[in-house]
Amino acid sequence: MEEKVAFKNLHSREYQGHKKKVHSVAWNCTGTKLASGSVDQTARVWHIEPHGHVRDGSSFNRSDGYPFAYAFRMGKAKDIELKGHTDSVDQLCWDPKHADLIATASGDKTVRLWDARSGKCSQQAELSGENINITYKPDGTHIAVGNRDDELNILDVRKFKPIHRRKFNYEDEWHFCYFNSAVESYTSFSGTVEVLAYPLLKPVDTLMAQTAGCYCIAIDDRKSNVHTGRTVHQIPGRAAMNSLEWNPKYNLLAYAGDDKNKYSADEGVFRIFGFESS
């Protein structure tokens, strides 16, 4: 019998490092690092301890040669910054087969591949529109990128060049993610999830997901919390959500939204739910 999670006894913790609001959060395949992308034109990589510690690349050395430093339990330490984009980093995703490779999509019409250990950009692709969505194929061979013109580009990871392009006729913004052999996409205003067969990208199904706009979606890969489809817990928020993602190893849910401070300025924070203490 699977263990039930007592969500009501768990808490969220706040992490701050960006100068403007966070548009995207994503865990690497081992669940040890979290990346955040922001309107401030940067992405950041955080090493999250499942019990609440944050490790970054600023000091000391581990036995395996990689540097780390333990930070405040509330996550206010510096992290590894990925700089190079000239517009908002609207979404990012990790290589599903490599725990230190991350791809970012930006409004500057580029997609960049980064090494999270060094913080350096190793590959860059120039595309035709302002990129707002990005995801890897589960085997790590292709990257799908969506832009504001409702165009989908498929990149070959080895060459880091587009190999397929398709224009959709959606009237509003959309988001997609790979799931098994299909691409799931949903419109941001109608509240539906559109399921497409891959690689032909033909419609398979339409799911009524929300009564208002859908802006983000997260799949629990362990399938431990979605047996019936009923709501098991609600996490209160202060603003509209931009991104959320389950940790692949632990019951930790990262999320980020349009949070403002008392001066109506972007807070530049994200939060992680699932800790035993706040």
Query: What is the number of other CB atoms lying within 10 angstroms of the CB of residue 58?
Result: 13
Phi-psi group of 14: left, alpha or beta (phi > 0 → left; psi -120 to 50 → alpha; rest → beta): beta
Judging by beta carbons within 10 Å of its beta carbon (0-12, 13-18, 19+), is residue 272 exposed, middle or buried? Answer: buried
Class level of CATH domain 7-167+218-275: mainly beta
pLDDT for 82-106, tens place per residue? 999 999 999 999 999 999 999 999 9
Compute the Cα dihedral for 21, 24, 27, 28 and give only its sign: negative
Q: For the whole model, what pTM was predicted?
A: 0.78
pLDDT for 207-250, tens place per residue? 777 777 666 565 555 555 545 557 778 888 888 888 889 898 88
Per-residue pLDDT of the chain (278 residues; tens, 9 = 90+): 445 667 888 889 999 999 999 999 999 999 999 999 999 999 999 988 766 444 443 333 333 333 333 333 334 444 899 999 999 999 999 999 999 999 999 999 999 999 999 999 999 999 999 998 898 988 899 998 988 888 888 999 999 999 988 887 764 455 555 545 455 454 445 677 777 777 777 778 777 777 776 665 655 555 555 455 577 788 888 888 888 898 988 889 999 999 888 888 888 999 999 988 76
Q: Which residue reads 């999250």 in tokens?
A: 48
